[in-house]
Amino acid sequence: MKRLADLTFDNSFSRLPAGMHARVRPTPLQGAHLASLSPAAAALLELSPDSLREQEAVAALSGSQLLPGMDPIAMCYAGHQFGHYVPQLGDGRALVLGEVLTAGGARWELQLKGGGLTPFSRDGDGRAVLRSTIREYLCSEAMHGLGIPTTRALCLFGSDEEVYRERIERGALLVRMAPSHVRFGSFEVFYHRQQYRELQQLADYVIDHDFPDLRDCERPYLALLREVVGRTARLMAQWQLAGFAHGVMNTDNMSILGLTLDYGPFGFIDAYDPGFVCNHSDHRGRYAFDQQPSVGLWNLTCLAQALLPLLDADDADASVEQARDALADYEPAFAAAYVSGMRAKLGLREAHPDDPALAASLLDLMAVSGVDYTNLFRDLAALCLDEAASATPLRDRFIDRPAFDAWADDYRARLRAEGSGDATRAAVMRSVNPRYVLRNYLAQQAIERAEQGDYSEVDCLLDLLSRPFEEQPERQGYAAEPPDWGRRLEVSCSS
């Protein structure tokens, strides 16, 4: 394992034309101290976790001193925010230090989130606050633990710096990792400016850097769009299956790699409510939980529009038709991934045409009764085939117990039809239904302790959520439904 100074840094994106980024040196974080680190993320860089505690590493990752090969940039992009096009956004508080090239051939961009002012700060201060930084740090690694594609979080820095949002808060900095931080809005900015040469340069970069297999396709830009459509469809299905609400699905928050990107006012569903809105600024519920799949398609439509000049340079109508064909793949891909995932959650081995209805009827019952989403699916693994429907304690979580009994009868019949065995099925279900997720109240408790200088709860949650499918008897309390105060938490975009 290596020290940070031993890593090989490059920054291929910085060699693209200047209009795609701005070179900016980080603004050193005052009184920066390493608050927490992710050993799993460090391993991706072939980096010794302990080396991150060395003063040289702290200085480099908190913005005080660059290492050889680092070439910090802020990326330029635009985006549709809550459905309205904003012609220029860009990294207002994020800086890509450079790419780490590993011995295994992987490339990981290291990005400082909270690294200071950039030309794209839009009257902001370029800083991040401790509460939102902790939430992204923990959720990035928690989503990875759940098997959901995501940016990763290497480490978290606290500081003595005061940052003003709704109130004065402690400043912080997140070191974020991803193979690329290019997003849908990165393409939109050049399409709407009619800078088609830059648009093509960006598309070529993404293909060569992230999807080299597409370069030999007859129509590489169409192949790129199809690839992103498929990845986004599968990501949306994984969000829905995990009960995860992103909260701000603007096109500038959508990764071209199909990663979960930019954790703001996210939330995992506690009491199941398909219309759950986790962002208290989303007054119309545009990004409600049950709207995420359709928003994913809407965002892809914006991306497809941005790529039109590249699809067929000689025939605009042909470009539109190609884009429509690519977008038509989204709903079947989402449905296939979602239904397959729901079968796994229910412990069903074989595909049956009535499975979507079986799952939907359970969700309907859960919504009426406000049943805890994560715990219900986890505990459903304990249901036995040879017990009467009215014998399972799960029924007591439902207001209409006879309705649940009827559903359980149908479910048992479905299991018997494929020769299901209780023990084998339970093991499989527990491997896909987590015991632990990052509930908002758990994050809030960690934040409150960290604001007093105690990061032990952050580290505890990081470890817990890296193994969300394992029973951890000493931490069973972390699977509990939220207390009353935890049900009323409001989360905003402010960071």
Instruction: Categorize the per-residue pLDDT at 122 as very low, low, confident or very high, splitting at 50, 70 and 90.
Output: confident
Assign 245 a pLDDT band (cuts: 50, 70, 90). Answer: very high
**Band (166; pLDDT cuts 50, 70, 90):** confident
Cβ contacts of 268 within 8 Å, gap of 6 or more: 242, 243, 244, 245, 373, 374, 437, 438, 439, 440
Residue 167, Cβ density class (10 Å: 0-12 exposed, 13-18 middle, ≥19 buried): exposed
Measured in residues, the chain has a length of: 495
Q: What mean pLDDT comes out for the span 174-184? A: 98
Q: What average pLDDT does this structure show over 41-56?
A: 95
> What are the pLDDT digits (tens) for 389-413?
777 899 999 999 999 999 999 999 9
According to DSSP, the residues that pair with 2 across neighbouring strands are: 47
- Phi/psi at 305 (5° precision): -60, -40
252 has catalytic annotation: yes
User: Does the pLDDT value for residue 495 go beyond 80?
Assistant: no
Q: What is the DSSP letter of 279?
A: B
Q: What is the pLDDT of residues 79-103, one digit of tens each?
A: 999 999 999 899 999 999 999 999 9
Report pLDDT for 494: 57
* 212 Rama class: left (phi>0) / alpha (psi -120 to 50) / beta: alpha
Alpha-carbon span 206 to 183, nearest angstrom: 10
Average pLDDT of the segment spanning 160-175: 91
**What pLDDT does 391 receive?**
79
Helix (H, G, I), strand (E, B) or coil at 172: strand
To which H or E segment does residue 290 belong? none
- State the residue for tokens 């480099």: 60
The band of 337, judged by pLDDT with boundaries at 50, 70 and 90, is very high
Provide the 3-class DSSP secondary structure of residue 178.
Answer: strand
- Token pair listed for 156: 């978290």
Question: Could you tell me how far CA 418 lies from the centroid of its own chain?
Answer: 35
Q: How many angstroms separate the CA atoms of 117 and 311, rounded?
A: 37
- Segment 20-46 mean pLDDT: 96
Query: 465 falls in which pLDDT band (50, 70, 90)?
Result: very high
Q: Quick one: average pLDDT of 464-471?
A: 98
Provide mean pLDDT across the span 364-369.
98
Beta bridge partners of residue 267, listed in sequence order: 245
- At 449, list the tokens: 């302790």
Catalytic residue among 252, 262, 372, 379: 252
Predicted local distance difference test score (pLDDT) of residue 4: 92
Q: What percent of the chain shows pLDDT beyond 90?
A: 91
Contact between residue 72 and residue 26 where contact means Cβ atoms under 8 Å apart: yes
pLDDT per position as a tens digit, 415-433: 999 999 999 999 999 999 9
Residue 165: the pLDDT is 85
- Give the whole-angstrom CA distance, residue 262 versus residue 176: 10
Task: Quote the tokens at residue 306.
Answer: 């941005």
Joined together, the tokens standing for residue 231 give 């990845």
Is the model's pLDDT at 54 over the cut of 80? Answer: yes
Tokens of 251: 């096109």
CA–CA gap between residue 250 and residue 11 (Å, rounded) = 26
How many Å apart are CA 175 and CA 41, to the nearest integer? 10
Q: Look at residue 488 in the predicted model and tell me its pLDDT.
A: 75
**What's CA 60's distance to the chain center, in Å?**
26
Say if strands 152-164 and 73-75 run parallel, antiparallel, or are unpaired: unpaired
Q: What pLDDT was estimated at residue 443? A: 97
The string of pLDDT tens digits covering residues 260-284 is 999 999 999 999 999 999 999 999 9
pTM: 0.97
CA–CA distance from 158 to each of 26, 59, 60, 97, 491 (Å)? 16, 13, 15, 19, 21
Mean pLDDT of all residues in the chain? 95
For residue 493, the model assigns a pLDDT of 66
Q: What is the mean pLDDT of residues 442-471?
A: 97
- Point out the least confidently predicted range of 243-247, 249-253, 280-284, 470-474: 280-284
For residues 215-236, give the mean pLDDT.
97
